[in-house]
Structure 1
Amino acid sequence: MSIEWVNRAIDELRAWGRAHGRDVDADEVRLLCDYASDYLDVNDLGDFTQVTFEELLLDIYPRKVIAPPESASETVAAARTLVDFLLETEEIGGKMAARMRAALDRIEPEMPVALADTSRFGMAKSLFSAMGADALEQDTSPPGASSGVLPGPPPRSAPAALTAAEERGGEPCGCPGCSPLPPVRLAPRETLAEAALRVPLLTDARRLVQWMLAGGRTLAPEGALRADDAAEAAAQLAVADPAFLWEVAVRTGLVEVSGTAVFDADDPDPLEVWAAAVRFAVEDRTGGGLTGEPLLDEELYDLLDLFYRVQAPLPLPVVQEYLDDELDMAAEGGADLEALARRLAYCGLLQAGEGTLELTPLAVWGLHEIYEDFEIETPEPPDLAGADAAGLIDGLLAGVLPDVAETGITGWLEHRTPAQAAAELLGAATGVPAVARGIAVTIVDRLGAEAEAAVRAFLDDQELRPHAAHWLTARGLTAPALTPDEVLWMSVDMLALALPAAEEDPETFAENMAASGPPSHVIEEMWRVDHPDVVDVLELLGRSLPDPNTAKAARKAAFKARSRAIG
């Protein structure tokens, strides 16, 4: 991006706005110029055309910019201001201005739809959106940037991130590349050590070392393989790049070198060797020896760091887009993803799934070591399986990844009979917020009829009675009939469970309510329920329900509930 012309243009725009008494959204216009410069080869204000706006607002923004659909009107308004500025400063003529304004008229109704279409999201936007609201609430925008739009910043290499942190006195900058790492549970050391012994790259390096030692061969004066030895090793050992393998062996401690002499290393720890291999891969310029692509070798940390942060397999098209777009490999003819996947699997870093790629457990451990070297906090998820019921609920409320949560719940249940599990969970769900109670009830819902006696014991608990009766009825067991008030109370309680998720993703909540939400006549009566969250639930329904009459009923009920609380 040409920072100079953008800064100059924004200064001129602000001066023009003051001179003409115009309210100028300079921050929004700066984003337009930044992205036009980055992705559309716009190097001056005069390079803007109507096609520039079409590509920016209907292609680049949906792929790159994290912004709510309702922000589209602000962006289009800023674009119209920019057109006025371009015309009055004679950067464009009247005919071009007319074409631009017509294009913006077409774009305005289409842009909110494009911003909401997740299938259009690019790699970085998808990843940073998936990090959740907490990551996006950090101030990651440049000084003066619009608070309503967050451009996905480029990943930062480990050395650059470390240097930037040092310049700030060790403080993180707040961008997703420097944002807190997710909790990750590492595989057992014994398992990792066994896997490290089977990494093909290191296995071939060990074979080369033994071949060199067995033949009593020496090195060239600079410590590299002699050319004739490299050619002979390639033929006899069937390896593609003996010179690179030798460098790996030396850098990871598989062999000791003194001058031109070669000595056997003293039984190195497999995990120490692997840790050195990962550091070599992500910290040194290996010239394409690792991936076959010099550019990707230099940017390998960024790619692996993103895999670590997502903690899930990434679809191959998403990885392809990241390589070609985010790492600018399209300019190099595009990345050969199949070849890259094979190469990084050979190096022990990535493993393939059904149309996906993900880090190997070894790679996760190796990156974890590097983060610790850089003094980046590397949290581990709580031991949910070993916790008591309250600890399990608290751990799940803390927001662990879905696979960690599922593993923890399964492990926790395996250590208890169904009756014990139900008794402990429901006992921990008494007198707690609805979200915690909902988690307990949801886990108990996994249990079979063996837990009947334990669940039935909570029919006398005012808060748990409706849930216990529902559980019994769902399994065809004898259960007391619920009163209308108890049915209403349980409806409010289960909606209260959804409050955090609804606040984070109101559109999905609204869709769910449209499909299976309570009818208007039920909502009208909810204000009578003696539940601590009834006002919040009704206000949420009033904001979220797509049917205007039902939403109005919820708002009226919320008013009655507030009035009753005041009274």
Structure 2
Amino acid sequence: MATRSRKDGPVGEGVPLPADLDLETLYGAGAVAEYADETDPDATDEEDLVLVPPVRLAPSEQLAASALAAPLVGHTLKLARWVGDGKPVDEWGELSEEQAAEAAAAMGVEPDDVAEVERAWALAVDLELIVLESGADSAEDAPERALAGPELARLEAGEPDAVLDAWLTAASVIAQTAVEAAIEDIEAAQREDEDEDDEEAGASVEETGEADEADAASAADELEAEDESEEEYARLEEAREEAQGLLDDALQVLYETRALAPTPVEQTLPLGVLAALLVVPEGEDPTEELLGEITETMVLLDPMLQELADLGMLDYRPIDPSLFEESEEDGAAEGVELEELDPEEVDRFGHVRLTDLGLFGVREWLLEDGIDAPLVGAHAQGDAAELLRGICESANVLPEEEIVEWLEGKEPQAAAAELLAAARGDDLVAPVRRLYCQVALRRLGEPAVPAVREVLGDPELVGIAGAWLTELGATDLPQPERATVLWTTVDALAAQLIDTGGQAEAMRELVEMLPGPDGPDRFFEDLWRVDHTYTRAVLEAVGELHPDKSVAKMARKAAYKAKSQGR
């Protein structure tokens, strides 16, 4: 994959998936503003940081079986078996019309489906399932016959690594073919735009009468001197980059949706939603012009996605071709409301989902581009300290998935004791470790109670321990000292402050619960004295976000006192 143009950050809980959007129009563009990618706060203008969520891959044996079952792969294998010990070919290494009909029969496609035979033949040659052999007497080494290649036996043996390596090569070839096929349409659109601009410029000159004959002659000379081949090459490269970027962006959106959505239904995007996510700028409502761009994007994506679907990369229902005929008869469909259409009618506009095999393929492409594309469980292979550290320090991680992976098969009481020990500390990420320790305790449930009660005397852990035991209904817990309560308050707010990146909406609900029953005067006078790494940061957040102006002012004063004391 080429470098993508989208800046993608980790998507946290509560962010709607693309498939959740309540579409307002047929193409779904009206709801795009509800879906926002979080941009990584550390990304700079110099570094276009791309973060993708972790995924869970199917076993390699299952992926290999899916690869061999893909329609296009099946066609290439059948074609190579048909070639066998040799079939004559012409000087360009291609089959005659009669042979193509025989090959189509061997592949199980219609005899007149020449395009499918040619596509399978080209891919089989690329994969060395078929090799071309030149004749001994050929002066120009022109091929004379085709033979089944050495790769056929390897693929038929079914060894997963060999099958997946070959499939990845095929996927790259087909993706590039799909991009090249889209270039012509993009170029045509570019020429049309340029022609319109030229017509407008000419009309302007004619209306104003500002152009004289000398200027016109000079302009003509300059145009004639211009190297048309360079202009054509530049246009071609621009079209290629646009087509490649469009396919890359679409696959990345499908990858993220597949990673974050729990069910196949939620992982499936209407083609209009996918196009809208690629076209409509974040936070903007779709204009009539943007709706037109969404339609154009759908039309460009449709054949590219069909190519990849034939390789088993996508579950894809293409656009119903009859829609274009109806559009010409009845006018554009942009204004049709979804409520007016039944599900079958909506399906006619296409929908797409990345398969298990597609997830594997896109991840390999991301890794080739140097993009970190982690697997679920990457931080769950060591002890509790490695688990919590990995969750806290990784930019693209699904914490609960890692926790579930780590807890699997562990004895609850021992796991709880290990987690609590790993949660101690006063370093910069310690508050978040305690936050996710509490999340893990919730997963363990009642069997972890004895280990949690053991830390009720620990000032760093009594807060999360007491809160968790209270959630389970415990009523016999000792009353912690006020200093411990204040420290725990700072620690809990610091954990949220770090974990949310200081996002106002995520913090506001917690901040509004302060200062508590003691009133702001005593609360902030005591709070700024708390010996915690994040005391000042927490007070500054309260001062910025608290809706009560008098409370916010006290918090800011307390933050200033903490700063003066070096807290």
State the TM-score bracket (shorter-chain normalisation). 0.5 to 0.7
| 1:119-166 Cα deviation digits (max 9, x unpaired) | 55499xx4xx4342223xx115xxxxxxxxxxxxxxxxxxxxxxxxxx
User: Given the superposition, is the C-alpha separation of residues 392 and 465 from structure 1 closer, same or farther in structure 2, using an over 3 Å criterion?
Assistant: same
Asked whether the equivalents of residues 219 and 262 of structure 1 are also in contact (C-alpha less than 8 Å), the reply is: yes
1:348 to 312, 315, 320: 312
Corresponding letter in the other structure for 1:225: L
2:424 is aligned with 1:430? yes
Alignment-derived partner of residue 526 in structure 2: 528
Contact 2:269 2:353 in 1 (8 A): no
Q: Classify 1:134/1:198 alpha carbon distance in 2 versus 1 (closer, same or farther; 3 Å).
A: farther
Of 71, 74, 91, which aligns to 1:200?
71
Give the aligned partner of residue 165 of structure 2. 272
Equivalent of 1:417 in 411, 415, 420: 411
Residue 114 of structure 1 corresponds to none
Q: Is the 8 A contact 1:542 1:551 kept in 2?
A: yes
1:80-159 pair list within 5 angstroms: 119-121=31-33, 126=36, 129-135=37-43, 138-140=44-46
Match of 1:393 in 2: 388
Match of 1:257 in 2: 132
Residue aligned with 2:388, SS: helix
493-502 vs 331-340, which moves further: 331-340
Give 1:454's aligned residue. Answer: 451
State which of 453, 460, 463 in structure 2 corresponds to 1:463.
460
Give, in angstroms, the shift of residue 367 of structure 1.
Answer: 4.4
How far apart, in 1, do the equivalents of 2:293 and 2:92 lie? Answer: 33
C-alpha distance 399-246 of structure 1, shift in aligned 2 (>3 A): same
Q: Alignment RMSD, CA only? A: 4.3
| Secondary structure at 1:263 match in 2 | strand
Q: Distance in 1 between matches of 2:280 and 2:566?
A: 57
SS of equivalent residue, structure 2 residue 312: coil
1:4-24: CA deviation from partner (whole Å, max 9, x where unpaired): xxxxxxxxxxxxxxxxxxxxx
Q: Is the 8 A contact 1:458 1:464 kept in 2?
A: yes
Moved more, 500-509 or 219-228: 500-509
Q: Note the C-alpha offset of 1:438.
A: 1.9
Could you tell me which runs of 5 or more consecutive residues in structure 1 were left unpaired when the two chains were aligned. Answer: 1-63, 67-116, 141-173
Match of 2:486 in 1: 488
- Equivalent residue for 2:91? 221
Paired residue secondary structure (1:262) = strand
Q: Which amino acid aligns with 2:92?
A: E
1:498 counterpart SS class: helix
8 Å CA contact 1:420–1:454 kept in 2: the answer is yes
Query: What is the total number of aligned residue pairs between the two structures?
Result: 408
Aligned to 2:122: 247
Q: Is contact 2:63–2:357 with CA below 8 Å preserved after alignment?
A: yes
Q: Aligned equivalents of 1:212 and 1:483: distance in 2?
A: 84
Distance 1:251 1:371 in 2: 23
Partner residue of 1:439? 436
Q: Against the structure 1 CA distance between its residues 207 and 523, is the aligned structure 2 distance closer, same or farther, given a 3 Å change threshold?
A: farther
Contact 1:324 1:330 (C-alpha < 8 Å) held by counterparts? yes
- SS of residue matched to 1:476: coil
Q: Which amino acid aligns with 1:249?
A: A
Q: CA separation of 1:522/1:427 partners in 2, compared to 1, >3 Å: closer, same or farther?
A: farther
AA partner of residue 546 (structure 2):
L
Retained in 1: the 8 A contact 2:543–2:554? yes
CA distance in 2, matches of 1:377, 1:330: 28
Structure 1 residues 561 and 356 mapped into 2: Cα distance closer, same or farther (>3 Å)? farther
TM-superposed CA distance for 1:217, in Å, is 3.8
- Checking the alignment, whether the CA contact within 8 Å between 2:275 and 2:297 is kept in structure 1 is no
User: Residue 492 of structure 1 contacts residue 531 of structure 1 at CA under 8 Å; is this kept in 2?
Assistant: no
Cα distance change of structure 1 residues 494 and 325 upon mapping to structure 2, 3 Å threshold: closer
Q: What is aligned with 2:358?
A: 363
- How far is 1:566 from its partner? 5.8
Aligned residue for 2:508? Answer: 510
| Mapped contact 2:381–2:406 kept (Cα < 8 A) | yes
CA distance in 1, matches of 2:526, 2:353: 51
The answer to whether the 8 Å contact 1:329/1:335 transfers is: no
- How far apart, in 1, do the equivalents of 2:425 and 2:145 lie? 73
Q: What is the SS of the residue equivalent to 2:128?
A: coil
Residue pair 1:539, 1:558 contacting (<8 A) in 2 also:
yes
Deviation at 1:393, TM superposition (A): 0.7
CA distance in 2: counterparts of 1:297 and 1:523, whole angstroms: 59
Highest relative contact order (Cα 8 Å, sep 6+), 1 or 2?
Answer: 2
Q: Secondary structure at the match of 2:146?
A: strand
- Alignment-mate amino acid for residue 417 of structure 2: A
* Correspondence 1:320 to 2:226: no
8 Å Cα contact 2:171/2:308 also seen in 1: no
